[in-house]
A and B are shown apart, each in its own frame.
Chain A
Amino acid sequence: MSAIINVHHLSKQFGEISAVSNLSFSVKKGEVYGFLGQNGAGKSTTIRMLLTLIRPTEGDIEILGLNLRKHRKQILRQTGAIIEKPDLYKYLTAMENLRLFAAMSGVKIPGKRYAEQMEMVGLTERADSKVKTFSQGMKQRLGIAIALVHDPQLIILDEPTNGLDPQGIADVRNLILHLSKDLGKTVFVSSHLLNEIEQIADSMLIIDKGKKMAEGKVTDLFNPLDTIVELETGDNNDALEKLKQSAWKDYIQEYDSKKILVKLGKEDIPSFARQLIQMNIEIHSLSGRHSLEDYFLTLTTANKHVETFKN
């Protein structure tokens, strides 16, 4: 699969504050690409740079094989987006909002498509109601219809499940999967709901404080059979030296004076524990975890830059 987004060494400074720093990643055509980070991690700034709302301080962005600066219009014609919450014209009806933004998309849209979009997001009966009467969830769904009405190749969704009830969240998840798997669209989706991303994304990027923490295929990053084992010993330096000289050296993920993280298959944990004892390592604690949230928090709270697991 060819890359539909290529970001090279992207940085953004707001005065003294570095919002995004030397960020590089690529998104393949047809995949759902999850973009994870805590609040203030730089997700929205990155998305705004992808959509030309913010000028990068440094770096290049290529979308659909074209340079974003030079071919902005051509790229945006093939892009649909929701940035944070979809704020719309409250004094206009849902259909008027949809038609208005569609008219600006630069793409000729068949008349029947408007009704189809309304139906897809479940707003047919409220199409002629003013947006000021809508709940946040309804606005979110209308925002999705606006993002998709001109049939874009690339869809960028910033926190698309914000304000939605559980059914709405499930609907958006199914819609994203439908867009990607059935229609071949590329979906770049950011979220703080990590389990949501885990369920829908093919690949993902985790950032913290504007820096890349990890990138790769979800199956590689978060194989449900894999476990991150957190090891605390009497002397972590000694334990680390011994592990580096053993067959387990390639499994070490990261370490500091308090703990050593080792990525193991579940079936390997008993033999790993046995060998720790054989190596005379004084074990204070050995705990395993494999959830995405744990892994994400490990990366972001420790603020350590780890090697990507990308193939």
Chain B
Amino acid sequence: MWKLLKIELFKIFRRPRTYIAFAAIAAIITLIQLAFYSDGEAFLQFGMQSLKETFDINGKIVNGYLVCYVILQTLLIHVPLLIALIAGDAVAGEANMGTLRLLLTKPVSRSQFMWTKFMATVIYTLLLLVFMAALALFLSVSIFGTSDLIILKSETIVILDRHDILWRYFGAFGFAAIAMTTVASLAFLLSVFAENSIGPIVATMSIVILFTILTTMDIPFFNAIKPFLFTNHMLNWKGFFEEPVNYREVLKSATILIGHIVFFVFTAIAIFKKKDILS
């Protein structure tokens, strides 16, 4: 299994397409950091004008933790597309290239083949998040320094002490890893049905976008189905920035997402095991 996994990772990381996601993330993060570096202070002063009438705010508002929070909010909506680029290609890409039939004439069971593919996709997803964390958190902290984190919500303000933040980011990135793996496993499942990777990538993004719209619409009819939409739970990384953290809610969302992963992956394997390879 380890040998197969090494082969899969070798294939993924020898493809130029793989690095598009890393380059895109680096570009977006750098742009946000640049924007904060040049105009961040003025922008925040403007945004917090009404608060200053009520509160006396001192200290360094624009700091590495705040920049990282903004980056996370922006990127975690777009990262699923980058994840789908690789996960949607996992099986469909091999079918499209014609390599699938040669691979499956090797003495490897289809379950092994699929598990290896999925594990390689998860490793790619985790590496993307680690890369994102390194740039968004550590680079931001090294550029902007640290201070207390002020988060404005629609009805409340959360102020987190600078010494009480880092672990929350670790928690948030850990949760994001589960959320992104959910997207990866959906794309992986759809990949089994297609013979080119465009279909599963577009289908995955369409599902994520549709579910996200339904999640954000405050209409009573949609409220009833929201708990069943995985996108609704994907945003609960923000739970780590509540005071106190609602662990029950975060754990519930994580469990639901893991349930989705298990369902998507096992369905993909069950279908693939019976599939006639005609590509």
Contact B101 A55 (CB under 8 A): no
Q: Which of B3, B7, B109, B276 has the most CB of A within 10 A?
A: B276
B114 CB, min distance to chain A CBs, angstroms: 14
Q: Is A248 an interface residue (CB 8 A)?
A: no
Binary flags per residue of A233-256, CB closer than 8 Å to B gives 1, else 0: 000000000000000000000000
Q: Size range of the interface on A?
A: 20 to 34
A88 to B94 alpha-carbon distance, docked (Å): 9
Tell me which residues across on chain A come within 8 A of B11, comparing CB atoms. Answer: 89, 92, 100
Q: How many A-B residue pairs have CB under 8 A?
A: 78
Contact A53 B101 (CB under 8 A): yes
Query: B10-39: which residues lie under 8 A (CB-CB) from chain A?
Result: 10-11, 14-16
Q: Is B224 an interface residue (CB 8 A)?
A: no
Query: B65-79: which residues lie under 8 A (CB-CB) from chain A?
Result: none
Contact B277 A88 (CB under 8 A): no
Contact A51 B105 (CB under 8 A): yes
Q: Is B104 an interface residue (CB 8 A)?
A: yes
Among residues of A, the one whose C-beta sits closest to the C-beta of B109 is A73
Binary flags per residue of A44-71, CB closer than 8 Å to B gives 1, else 0: 0000100111110000000000000000
A160 to B129 alpha-carbon distance, docked (Å): 45
A89 to B8 alpha-carbon distance, docked (Å): 12
Give the interface SS of chain A, mostly helix, strand, loop or mixed: loop
Binary flags per residue of A4-32, CB closer than 8 Å to B gives 1, else 0: 00000000001000000000000000000
Q: Which of A72, A73, A87 contacts B97 (CB 8 A)?
A: A87
Among residues of A, the one whose C-beta sits closest to the C-beta of B108 is A104
Query: A91-120: which residues lie under 8 A (CB-CB) from chain B?
Result: 91-92, 96, 100-101, 103-106
Tell me which residues across on chain B come within 8 A of A81, comparing CB atoms. Answer: 102, 105
A70 to B140 alpha-carbon distance, docked (Å): 57
Given contacts A100-B10, A103-B3, contact A91 B15 (CB under 8 A): yes
B168 CB, min distance to chain A CBs, angstroms: 40
Q: Which of B103, B104, B107 has the most CB of A within 10 A?
A: B107
Contact A104 B97 (CB under 8 A): no
Among residues of B, the one whose C-beta sits closest to the C-beta of A79 is B105
Tell me which residues across on chain B come within 8 A of A96, comparing CB atoms. Answer: 14
Contact B14 A53 (CB under 8 A): no
Among residues of A, the one whose C-beta sits closest to the C-beta of B16 is A91
B16 CB, min distance to chain A CBs, angstroms: 7
A76 to B102 alpha-carbon distance, docked (Å): 11
Given contacts A103-B3, A104-B7, contact A74 B107 (CB under 8 A): yes
B interface residues, Cβ below 8 angstroms from A: 3-4, 7, 10-11, 14-16, 97-99, 101-109, 274, 276-278
Q: A100-B10, A106-B106 are in contact. List 7 more A-B contacts (CB 8 A).
A: A53-B276, A83-B105, A86-B102, A89-B97, A90-B97, A101-B103, A104-B108
